[in-house]
Amino acid sequence: MARRSAPFGARVLGRPDQSVRALRLRVQVLLTVMLVGTNVVAAGVVFLIASFVVPAPSPTGATVLALAIAVPTYVGVAVVVGVAVGTRLALRALRWATEGTEPDLRQRLAALRVPLWLTVMQGALWLAATALFTTLALVLQPDRALGSGVSVGIAGLVACGIAFLLTDFVMRPISARALDGLAVADRPRGAGVGGRMVLFWCLGTAAPVCGMVVASVVGVAGDDGARDRLPFTVLAISAVVLVFGLMTTVLNARSIVAPVSSVQEALLDVERGDLDREVVVFDGTELGSLQAGFNAMAQGLREREQLRDLFGRHVGRDVALAAAAKGVELGGESRRVTVLFVDLVGSTTYATRHEPGEVVRTLNRFFGVVVEEVDRQRGLVNKFMGDAVLAVFGAPVDHPDHATAALAAARAIAARLAEEVPEVSAGIGVATGDAVAGNVGAASRLEYTVVGDAVNSAARLTDLAKQVPGCALAAWQTVTEAADDEAGRWTRHEPVLLRGREEETDTAVLCG
């Protein structure tokens, strides 16, 4: 599985933020090593096939001498040309990446085509080798022409397959930079995952098997010695199929697994809550689209989470969760709730005597105390009204002991405001009753609110609370519905006649 320490699927490829100098050196060294290694492997395949696979008469002295001169000469020239031309071709197409400049569309596409160009170059070199050694055999020893052509041809196919896979691997850091910001519609059209798998099956399996068929036909049609060598020929070419077919398959599989593994690991990180997770897009096939799709999904989740957080900050986390679960619609429901109202005393006078910045900082400290204590008791800060706060316990989420929670919050707010925000004072009113809680407004602009006698009572108790010890005044009905531990912290106060009512309301204040 690709790890964060190897975002390109292998640590040898470095990190996405590596320096331009390190990237240039890494690509140049790895490409050179890969191209030389590919030619060495292919030369070994030629030796194996020519020596043990294709039935052919023993070479004459002239053939041995010609091969002794031609093979090392051509291999050396091919290696030099391949390394020089291939590396130069690659670096020219990748100049923008090694210089740290922003590429245009043409440069991006050229960088993505580098593995194909290098593979075509390898194919041209091995095609020339096939023609050269087949012609040499026809001139010096015609009976060996077929064996030479098959040997070099199969080796060339294997070399091209391995060269493409290794070059594509080395180019991942460059491909990632080229694909960054490149629209899907602008990506070069080519063989996808399915096409590549079929292609490499042809190179790693079909080509050696075709060589075995040719060797078998030659052996059967040849003399007795050739027929006697046929079982050994089949065994040898079977070994070639197993070894080089496996090599090609493994390299192809790794090229497919690396981007899938990067997405798999990133998905696990997202599942654990890391929404900032992104994967490096370094593949130009459907797998690259999968990587880019994951990044788009993660971006969408981040935006959704930001909207949810913003929504929750405006209307309250519980309201946001209820809206997400049930949908948003106009209307409400009747609930038994306890309402807590907090209002500053003399805020207008305080504002005229202090700088606006200081006033805002004081208000924020005041609101911070109220919000923390309401949240601690699982209430909802429903709205801020200038320098006042309306909080509800029991809506939109049921609260099994809303009266106790509201009284505990009122008591804690009164104590903390006196200690932490001494420059201002506030009245706190608490009342319990039936209310309608729900969304009001228009279809295009809703607001969650609570309407009912409990809200009006709490607001009016707040005005009266500013003249009582502790600055907190609760309806006695709330105290009777609270748990004994909390009710014992409040004591009965004188009845009051609230505006709009005909009967007095029994009240309670904090115990001295």
Residue 1 has a pLDDT of 41
Residue 323 has a pLDDT of 47
Tokens encoding 26: 């890494």
Please report the DSSP string for 175-232 in residue order.
HHHHHTT--GGGSPP---HHHHHHHHHIIIIIHHHHHHHHHHHHHHHS-HHHHHHHHH
DSSP β-ladder status, 472-475 and 425-442: parallel
Q: What is the pLDDT of residues 231-253, one digit of tens each?
A: 666 666 666 667 766 777 777 77
CB-based contacts of 452, cutoff 8 Å, min separation 6: 337, 433, 434, 435, 436
Give the closest residue to 162 by CA, choosing from 63, 266, 82: 82
Q: Collapsing DSSP states into helix, strand and coil, what is residue 494?
A: strand
Give the closest residue to 177 by CA, choosing from 261, 94, 237: 94
Residue 311 has a pLDDT of 45
* C-beta of residue 244 within 8 angstroms of C-beta of residue 204: yes
Angle of helix 286-315 relative to helix 224-271, nearest 10 degrees? 10
* C-beta of residue 466 within 8 angstroms of C-beta of residue 425: yes
Alpha-carbon gap, residue 365 to 376, rounded angstroms: 17
Buried b (16+ CB within 10 A) or exposed e, 262-273: bbebbeebbeee
- What is the CB neighbour count within 10 angstroms for residue 399? 22
Q: Which residue has 């405006």 as its token pair?
A: 314
Residue 314 has a pLDDT of 46
* C-beta of residue 397 within 8 angstroms of C-beta of residue 318: yes
Beta bridge pairs of residue 439: 331, 448
Residue 315 has a pLDDT of 46
Residue 387 has a pLDDT of 85
pLDDT in tens, the chain (512 residues): 444 557 777 777 878 777 778 877 887 788 778 777 777 777 776 766 665 555 566 667 776 666 666 667 777 777 777 667 766 777 677 777 767 677 778 877 877 888 888 888 888 888 888 888 788 878 887 776 766 777 777 777 777 777 788 888 888 888 877 777 666 666 665 556 776 777 667 766 676 677 667 666 665 665 555 566 566 666 666 666 677 667 777 777 777 778 888 888 888 888 888 888 888 887 777 777 777 778 888 888 787 676 555 544 544 555 555 545 554 444 567 889 999 999 988 777 788 888 888 888 888 899 999 989 998 898 888 888 888 999 999 888 788 899 999 999 999 999 999 899 888 889 999 999 998 887 776 665 667 778 888 999 999 999 999 888 889 999 999 999 999 999 999 999 999 988 878 789 999 999 86
CATH superfamily of 331-510: Nucleotide cyclase, GGDEF domain (3.30.70.1230)
CB-based contacts of 50, cutoff 8 Å, min separation 6: 56, 147, 148, 151
Domain extents for the chain? 11-255, 331-510
Q: pTM surpassing 0.75? A: no
Q: Kindly state the DSSP code that residue 488 receives in the 8-state scheme.
A: T
Residue 51 has a pLDDT of 59
Tokens encoding 240: 């070639």
Strands (E), 346-483: 380-385, 388-393, 425-442, 445-452, 472-475
